[in-house]
Amino acid sequence: MRAFVVVTAGLLAVAGLLDAFPAAAQPDAGRNARLDSLEARLPQQPQPDTNRVKTLNELVWENRNSRPQRALALAAEALQLGQQLSYRKGLAKTYILRGILYATTGRYREAIADFEACRRERAALGDWQGVAGAINNVGEVLAMQGYYRQAVEHYIRALRLEEKYGTPERIAADWANIGMVYQQMGRYREALAYHRQYLYLPGRTRDAYNDAQAHNIVGQDFAKLGQADSAQVHFQQALRISQQAADRQNQVQAQAGLGGLALARRQHELAQAYFQSALTLARTLDDQAAVASQLNSLGELALRQNQPAAAVLYFEEARQLSRRIRSAEAVRTALQGLAAAYARMSRYPEAYRYQQQVMQVKDSLLNEASARQITEMQVRYDTERKEARNQLQAAQLRTQQQLLRRRNVQLVAGLAVVSLLVLVGWLLYTRQRLREQVAHEQERQQQERQRVAAVLEAEENERRRIGSDLHDGIGQLLTAAKLNLHALEQRGPRSEEQAALLHNAIDVVDESFREVRGISHNLMPNVLLTRGLPAAVRDLAAKMTTYHTGPQIVVEVFGLEEERLASTTESVLFRVIQELMQNVIKHAQATRVNLQLVRNEQELTVVVEDDGIGFDPLQPGKGAGIGLRNMRTRLAYLGGEAHIDATPGHGTTITLEVPLVPGQRYVASRPLSKSA
C-alpha cells in the first residue's frame, strides 16, 4: 500500500469537514436515504439563495466517492452561485470540498489552489479555525507529492492556529499529520505513537469514515515495523468498518494493505485477489493515485511470480499515470519495478536506463537534509512553545517586568539573527574558497597525470627507437661482419695461430650479436607486443635465469589467461616488473624469487618476493632509491600503489596494486619502426 493514498484519507478527517455536516453522513458508494433526500430537496430550491448553496455543498460531499464527476459539477454550480451572492462562508466550504475531491483523485495542483482560496475566504470571515484547516490541507497535498519539508511547515502553521483557536481533538489530528510525515521518512515508531494517539483519543467524535481511516494508517505503521499480525488486525477492522459504511475510499486502502501482507507471506493468489479488488474500486472512484499504487503492487506481485513481461505492463501504466498526476514517489516505485523486470528479462540496456531515471527521481524525494530540516523545525516549534508558555506565566506574576523581558528577547533574537547572517556569510565564503582549492588541485593533478603520461610515452618511444636502431643498424653490421669472417675462413690454408685468431673473432662477433639482440629485445620486447604481459614476464624470468647465475625465478599467473590488459597498462607494468627484477639480481643476493600476477574484477595485484638480504625501506640507498621513485611514478600514472615489506637480513616482499577500468580492452600500440 502506498502511503500517499492513506494521506488522502487523513486529509478528510483532519480538515474538520465532518463538523460541517450531520454526524450520520458517511461516505457512500451508492444511493442512501440522505443522498436521496438531498437530491429531492434541490429542485424545491430554485431560488438563487444561500440555502441552495448549502444544499449543493452537502450534495458535493455525499457524491464525492460514489459519483465524483457529479460532485464536481455540483461544486461548479455552488461556486458560481456563491460568487453571485458574495456568500463567503458557502464559497469557503465549496472550495475545501472540491479541493478534497481533487486531492483524492490525484489532481494536486487544482487541490492546492482550492485550499488556498478557502483559506482566503476563511481569513476574511475571521474564522481562524477554518484557516488552520485549509493550511493543514495544503500540507497534506504537499506530503502526497513528496515535498515533506514544505508539508511540515504548513502543519506547524496550522498547529499554531489550532492551539490558539481550535479544540484538543483538532490539535491531536494535526500531530497525526506530522506522524504521517514520519511514516514517509521511515521513522515508523514515532509515526505509530502519533497515529494511535489519534485512534484512541478520548472524547473524539466516533464515525465510520475516520475510524476506518485511522485503522488503515495504524495498520500501515505496524506493517512497516514488521508486525504483520497487528497490521492484519487493523486492516481487517478498517475493511469491516468501510464495507458496512459503503466507504469505498477506505475499502481500497484496507484491501491494498491486506494484499501487501499476503504478498510478504508469499500468499500470491490471495494478494492477487486483494490488489485486483482494490484496483477495480480505485478505477470506479477515479482515484488516480490509488490506481497507480495498485498497479505498482500488481507489478511487484508479477515479479515475485517470475512473470517479468506482465510486470512491465503494470509498471509502465503506473509510471505514465504517476507522471500525469505528478506523484514522484509512485513514479520512483514504477521505475524501480521496470528496471528490475527488464533485468530479469536480461534486457540490460533498458534496465540501466530506468535505473538512471530512478536516481533522478530519488533526488526530488526525501533525503537526509530534508529529514534534518523537519526535525529541526519540530524542535524549534517545541522550543518556541515552551518559551511562550514561560513568558505567559512570567507575565501573569510580574506584569511590570514584561516590557523589559520582551526587549531582552528582541535583543537576543536580533543578535542571533546577526550572528546567523555572519555565520552563513562565513560558511558561504569558506565553501567558495574550498571549491576553488578543490578545482585547482584537480587541475594540478590532471596536469601532473598528463606530464607523467607524456614522459612515459616518450620514454617508451625512445626505447623502441633505440631497440629498432640496434636491431636494424648494429645488428645488421655484426651479421655482415660474421658473414665476412666465415667467408675468410673458407679461403686457403692458414697457420694454426691464424685459425685460432679467426675463430676467436667469429666468437666475439657472435657474442656481440647476442648482446645487441638481448639489449634490443629488452628495450622493445616483442613477446609483450604479441602475447601480452604474462608471457613477457615469463620470458623476462627465463632470460634472467639464462644470462645471470642468479636466483631461481618462479612465475605464477592467475586471471590473465583469457583477456589481455590495455596496452598502456601492460607496458608500464612490464617496465616496473623489469626494474624490480633487475634490482633483485643486482642487490638482493637471493637464491629464489617468487613472482605472482593476480587479476580480479577491480584490480591487478603483482607480488615480488625474494629470500635475499633485504634492505631498509626508509634508507634504500642511492641506486635503489631512484629505482623505487621511478616505480612509484609509473604506478601513479596507472592510479596504483606500491607496498614494500623489507627488513635487513630477512628478504623483501613488494606488492603492486593497480585498479582496472571496467570494460577496458587491449589496443595495440602503433610501432615506430619494424619490430625486433
Mean pLDDT estimate for the chain? 79
Cell digits for 93? 466550504
Report the distance separating Cα 366 and Cα 373, nearest Å: 11
Residue 238 CB neighbour total at 10 angstroms: 28
Report the distance separating Cα 558 and Cα 571, nearest Å: 19
Q: Write down the pLDDT at residue 41.
A: 77
Cell digits for 132? 488552520
Report the distance separating Cα 168 and Cα 174, nearest Å: 10
User: Which residue shows C-alpha cell 500531530?
Assistant: 175
The larger pLDDT score, comparing residue 197 to residue 602, is at 602
Backbone angles phi, psi at 46, to 5 degrees: -70, -20
Q: Write down the pLDDT at residue 28.
A: 42
Q: How confident is the model at residue 548 (pLDDT cuts 50, 70, 90)?
A: low
Backbone angles phi, psi at 598, to 5 degrees: -125, 125
Report the distance separating Cα 670 and Cα 656, nearest Å: 27
Q: Write down the pLDDT at residue 468.
A: 63
H/E element, 642: strand 641-646
Rg value, the chain, Cα:
41
Sign, CA torsion 204/210/214/215: positive
Average pLDDT score over residue span 395-421: 81
Q: How confident is the model at residue 116 (pLDDT cuts 50, 70, 90)?
A: very high
The amino acid sitting at 541 is: A
Check pLDDT > 80 for residue 106: yes
Average pLDDT score over residue span 152-177: 81
Q: Write down the pLDDT at residue 671.
A: 42
Report DSSP state, residue 548: S
- pLDDT tens digits for range 591-648: 899 999 998 888 899 999 998 888 887 776 655 567 777 788 888 878 889 988 888 8
Residue 66, phi-psi category: left (phi > 0), alpha (psi -120 to 50), beta (remainder): alpha
Distance of CA 400 to the CA centre of its chain: 57
Strand partners, 639: none
Q: Write down the pLDDT at residue 17.
A: 36
Q: Write down the pLDDT at residue 111.
A: 93
Q: Alpha helix locations (H) across 200-267?
A: 208-224, 228-244, 248-264
Q: How confident is the model at residue 155 (pLDDT cuts 50, 70, 90)?
A: confident
CATH superfamily assigned to domain 266-366: Tetratricopeptide repeat domain (1.25.40.10)
CATH class of 3-265: mainly alpha
Q: 3.40.50.2300, 3.30.565.10, 3.40.50.620, 3.30.1950.10: which CATH number matches 525-659?
A: 3.30.565.10
Q: Write down the pLDDT at residue 23.
A: 35
Q: How confident is the model at residue 544 (pLDDT cuts 50, 70, 90)?
A: confident
Q: Write down the pLDDT at residue 233.
A: 93
Q: Angle, to 10 degrees, between the axis of helix 168-185 and the axis of helix 208-224? A: 30
Q: Write down the pLDDT at residue 6.
A: 26
User: Which residue shows C-alpha cell 641506486?
Assistant: 623
Report the distance separating Cα 277 and Cα 251, nearest Å: 10
Q: Write down the pLDDT at residue 441.
A: 84
Report the distance separating Cα 479 and Cα 491, nearest Å: 19
Q: Write down the pLDDT at residue 127.
A: 92
Percent residues over pLDDT 90 in the chain: 24
Q: Write down the pLDDT at residue 7.
A: 30
The larger pLDDT score, comparing residue 637 to residue 13, is at 637
Query: Would the CATH topology of 3-265 be identical to that of 266-366?
Result: yes
Q: How confident is the model at residue 473 (pLDDT cuts 50, 70, 90)?
A: low
CB 138 within 8 Å of CB 174:
no
Average pLDDT score over residue span 567-583: 84
Domain boundaries, the chain: 3-265, 266-366, 368-397, 525-659
Check pLDDT > 90 for residue 274: yes
Backbone angles phi, psi at 602, to 5 degrees: -100, -30
Q: How confident is the model at residue 389 (pLDDT cuts 50, 70, 90)?
A: low
H/E element, 499: helix 496-523
User: Which residue shows C-alpha cell 494493505?
Assistant: 257
Range in 123-137, 142-156, 303-317 with the lowest mean pLDDT: 142-156
- pLDDT tens digits for range 319-364: 999 888 888 888 889 999 998 999 899 888 888 888 888 887 766 5
Report the distance separating Cα 523 and Cα 459, nearest Å: 10
DSSP 434-452: HHHHHHHHHHHHHHHHHHH
Cell digits for 415? 543578535
Range in 256-265, 497-506, 590-599 with the lowest mean pLDDT: 497-506
Check pLDDT > 60 for residue 403: yes
CB 256 within 8 Å of CB 274:
yes
Residues 6+ away with beta carbon under 8 Å from 229: none
H/E element, 597: strand 592-599
DSSP 340-354: HHHHHTT-HHHHHHH
Q: Write down the pLDDT at residue 10.
A: 38
Q: Write down the pLDDT at residue 460.
A: 65
- pLDDT tens digits for range 42-96: 777 777 888 888 888 888 888 877 788 888 999 999 899 999 999 999 999 999 9
Percent residues over pLDDT 70 in the chain: 77
**How many Cα atoms within 13 Å fall on the side-chain side of residue 469?**
6
Q: Write down the pLDDT at residue 607.
A: 93
